[in-house]
Amino acid sequence: MNVFDTLIIGAGPCGIRTAIVLKEAGLNVAIIEGSSPGGKINIAPRVDNYPGFKKIPGPDLAVEFFSWLNEAKVEMIADVVTSLTKENDIFVVECETAKYYAKTVMVASGTKERKLGLPKEEKLFGHGLTYCAMCDGHFFKGKDVLMIGGGNTALKEAIYMATLAHHVYLIHRRNEFRGSNYLVKELRELPNTTVLTPYIPIELIGEDCLEGVKIQNVETKEEQVLVVQGVFPLVGQIPNSQFIKIPGVTNEWGTIPVDNKTKQTSVEGLYAGGDILPRDIRQIYLSEVDGKAAARAIIEYLNK
């Protein structure tokens, strides 16, 4: 039975940084990725604040990350992790197509998009409703679209969509935005955007494809229909932690509390970092710092 020193779940910035440091230290390490290496950066239209790059399209930065991983010659396993357990001090990582064993595990699996919870959301997914402007924005060239959300992701994706769509509406349930002021200003100044607050979506209109969205003013209860061909719910994140079958690792929200210094979870030998941690600000450099800190702690732990 091949037992890895460390298995890393997720090849986003956190997992990649952890893998590179551990590989450089000579450990027997592999990284398991169920989708595209680079993680969330792949769907970021623009990364504004990554050291060394003034502004860079997310997919281009993801390619850089992947090339660093390749240069370090880290073993990459393309599979989806379905279960993580611990048996007799060894972690068992079950994937869709194989099973792996490791002395330590780093969970760097990030988050996925939260749904609106409205009827027809699933039915209209891919038929006018999408959670990623970077991936699907080109389908809405010259059309009218609605973005929903008040964080940096919603603001950035709205700014990006304004370069493609005929008109971009953005609604947010509060008058104040969680996202940066400079992005709100940039969005408001664009000629083909309308920002509406405090509004929530209450109905998705259309049977086979989206034809509009009914929205409601949270304060006055006034309702109106926005005739749009595309809607982008960008209302938060859900941690990718459902595969963790070890009790007490995740909290009630599904994020993973860790020791601040070592990034160790409540279980010895199990570490976590990046967007999966309970935190308000989710950024590439924070994920990398977590990866580096965890890697150092893993090396110390395995040397004991």
Ligand X SMILES: Cc1cc2nc3c(=O)[nH]c(=O)nc-3n(C[C@H](O)[C@H](O)[C@H](O)COP(=O)(O)OP(=O)(O)OC[C@H]3O[C@@H](n4cnc5c(N)ncnc54)[C@H](O)[C@@H]3O)c2cc1C
Rounded distance between C-alpha atoms, residue 267 and residue 156, angstroms: 37
- Show the binding pattern over residues 237-256: x = contacts ligand X (CB under 6 A), - = does not: ---x--x-------------
Does 287 participate in binding ligand X (rule CB under 6 A)? yes
48 binds ligand X (CB under 6 A): yes
Among 19, 30, 41, 195, binds ligand X (CB under 6 A): 41
The one-letter code for the residue type at 303 is N
| Pick 230 or 274: Cβ nearer ligand X | 274
Closest separation in Å from C-beta 244 to ligand X: 10
Q: Which is nearer to ligand X, 289 or 302 (CB)?
A: 289
Half-sphere exposure of 62 (CA within 13 A, CB side): 17
* Min separation Cβ 238 and ligand X, Å: 11
DSSP annotation of 243: T
> Could you give the CA distance from residue 69 to residue 17 in angstroms, rounded to a whole number?
8
Residue tagged 């009914």 (tokens): 214
Count of CB atoms within 10 A of residue 151's CB? Answer: 18
What's at 51, amino acid-wise?
P
Give the number of other Cβ atoms within 10 Å of residue 167's Cβ.
Answer: 17
23 binds ligand X (CB under 6 A): no
Compute the least distance from the CB of residue 227 to ligand X, in Å. 26
Which residue(s) pair with 195 in the sheet? 170
Angle at alpha carbon of residue 215, lines to 210 and 220, rounded to 5°:
170
Does position 29 interact with ligand X (CB under 6 A)? The reply is no
Q: DSSP assignment of 127-183, as one string?
A: TTB-S-HHHHGGGGTTSEEEEE-SSHHHHHHHHHHTTTSSEEEEE-SSSS-SS-HHH
- Euclidean distance between CA atoms 127 and 125, whole angstroms: 5
> Does 15 help bind ligand X (rule: CB under 6 A)?
yes
CB of 115 to ligand X, least distance (A): 16
Reduced to 3 states (helix: H, G, I; strand: E, B; else coil), residue 98 is: coil
Interacting positions 198-237 with ligand X (CB under 6 A): none
Site membership for ligand X, residue 107 (CB under 6 A) = no
Beta carbon nearer to ligand X, 100 or 169: 100
What is the closest distance, in whole angstroms, from the C-beta atom of residue 206 to ligand X in the complex? Answer: 25
* H helix or E strand, kind and range, residue 91: strand 90-95
Residue 32 in contact with ligand X, rule: CB under 6 A: yes
Q: Which is nearer to ligand X, 57 or 123 (CB)?
A: 57
Nearer to ligand X among residue 46 and residue 127 (C-beta)? 46
Q: Does 269 bind ligand X (CB under 6 A)?
A: no
By CB under 6 A, tell whether 186 contacts ligand X: no
Under rule CB under 6 A, residue 103 binds ligand X: no
Does 14 interact with ligand X (rule: CB under 6 A)? yes
Pair of tokens at residue 223:
């309702």
CB 245 within 8 A of CB 84: yes
**Rule CB under 6 A: is residue 34 a binding residue for ligand X?**
yes
Q: Do strands 167-171 and 144-148 pair parallel, antiparallel, or not at all (unpaired)? A: parallel
| Site residues, ligand X (CB under 6 A) | 9-15, 32-35, 39-41, 43-44, 47-50, 80-81, 108-110, 153, 156-157, 240, 243, 274-275, 282-285, 287
